[in-house]
Amino acid sequence: MIRTPRLAAIVAVVALLAAPSAFAQASAPASRAEVKAETRAAEKAGQLTPAGQGSAPMTKGADAGTPTTRAERKAATLRARKEGTLQPAGSTQAGDVAIQKLRTTKTRAERKAETAEARKKGQLVPAGEGSLKP
């Protein structure tokens, strides 16, 4: 039996400090080579979670991939570019397409004057906070 509170506190602290080191030796961390090998095996098995917002590992199905070859896809892209039907990079929502088709009837000076007037009245929307209006 320990009779003094100070001695009891010291024994308790020593026991708390010794416990993690005993558990750490039971399971040593994997080496870099082992982790790389595990990752390659998971990739081949289709068990990796996709980067970003993926919530579950992607599984490879029997019909994985496209039925067309790379050469066929490249030819189709070149054909669409020549025909002018190639979609622009980025968003291709209906609102974006409608805005691209609009042509202005105002001169640059008229637009600048309208912007200056809206700035004076405090009607300008801060960048990135507005909505697209065709």
Distances (CA, A) of 100 to 70, 110, 117: 31, 20, 25
Q: What is the mean pLDDT of residues 14-41?
A: 76
Q: What is the mean pLDDT of residues 50-70?
A: 68
Residue with tokens 């039907």: 85
% of the chain residues with pLDDT over 70: 66
Task: Give the pLDDT score at 109.
Answer: 95
The helix/strand/coil state of 79 is: helix
Predicted TM-score (pTM) above 0.85: no
Kindly report the backbone phi and psi dihedral angles of residue 87, in degrees, each rounded to the nearest multiple of 5, phi listed first. Answer: -70, 145
State the burial class of residue 81 (Cβ atoms within 10 Å of its Cβ: 0-12, 13-18, 19+): exposed
State the burial class of residue 110 (Cβ atoms within 10 Å of its Cβ: 0-12, 13-18, 19+): exposed
Q: Band of the pLDDT at 24, cuts 50, 70, 90? A: low
Q: Band of the pLDDT at 110, cuts 50, 70, 90? A: very high
Q: What is the 3-state composition of the chain as percent helix, strand, coil, each rounded to the nearest 5?
A: 55, 0, 45
Q: What is the mean pLDDT of residues 107-121?
A: 94
DSSP letter at 51 equals T
Residue 83 confidence (pLDDT) above 80: yes
